[in-house]
Amino acid sequence: MNTLFRYFVRYLFWPLFFISHLLTVSLLSWHLWAQVNFAYQLDYKLLDIEAQIQEFAPHNRYKQEFEYTTPEEHWELFAQIVNSIQNHGKGLAEITYKLPNGTNTPFMHRAEVIHLQDVANLIDTFYTTGIIAGVLWIFLLIIAYRNKLLFPSLKKVLLGCCAAIVVISITIISLGAKNVFYWFHTKIFPEGHQWFFYYEDSLMTTLMKAPDIFGLIALLLVSVVIVFWIGSIWASNKLLVKHYQKPVYNPSKKSKRKK
């Protein structure tokens, strides 16, 4: 092992390994939950979104008579939104709901469509980043395996992970979750694009009972990330430790036969 590679392993290898690994399992968690619309039917019941719609839909300044739609229609609308933002924003402007007279009308006004297109663009970036991270993680795992690098102790890995969680949690609590949420939106969305909507101005926000639903979705995502993270870290550790302890065959040493 040359000096340059030794310094790389000592200072950069494992941080890159764990960061790329975390991004990979985060993408996997997002993708899996997206397939079931982030358990919206459960969110719908837990947050009592039907009551939310009945309260605010009649006062919407852009759309009328949404309060006459059914829970099944609400679930379908959310599914269409998820499908669109998972597919580069295609079809967002074509999402409609049915009025009592049987005609279809657009579910969202222009500012809402623009916002969800921004969300779709962000998700595209997330997928690209996650896929690159996944390739990098596998590449680093192969390097570790071929060079018989010993996996850091699980105790240190867990302590480092817990320390990071504590620091992030303290930071969010000290700054205020609402302030962090708003700051995050100002940084990731284009300037001049509306991202905050009052319930009276947005059926989209009413349908999601935003931002409450984001807390539930975050819990779902984190729960699966933890499962994937623990399972893959344990498997990586087993693989590298087993290979590290495997005796290296030396062809120069010939076995001696008893005569």
**Is 4 domain-assigned?**
no
Q: In this structure, is residue 9 part of a structural domain?
A: no
Q: Maximum CA pair distance of the chain?
A: 100
Query: Is residue 253 helix, strand or coil?
Result: coil
Q: CA nearest 71: which of 96, 54, 92?
A: 54
In whole angstroms, how far apart are CA 203 and each of 89, 206, 209, 254? 18, 5, 9, 78
Q: Residue 202 phi/psi, 5° resolution?
A: -150, 115
Assess if residue 106 is contained within a domain.
yes
Q: Give the domain extent around 173.
A: 14-245
Q: What is the pLDDT of residues 16-50, one digit of tens each?
A: 999 999 999 999 999 999 999 999 999 999 999 99
Q: How many domains does the chain have?
A: 1
In a domain, 65, yes or no: yes
Among the ranges given (137-151, 152-166, 207-221), the one the predictor scored with the smallest mean pLDDT: 152-166
Residues 6+ positions from 80 with CB-CB distance below 8 Å: 91, 95
pLDDT at 2 over 80: no
Q: Is residue 53 part of a domain?
A: yes
Give the pair of three-digit tokens for residue 9: 């392993």
* Cα distances (Å, whole numbers) of residue 249 to 12, 81, 150, 252: 30, 58, 19, 9
Q: Does the pLDDT value for residue 258 go beyond 70?
A: no
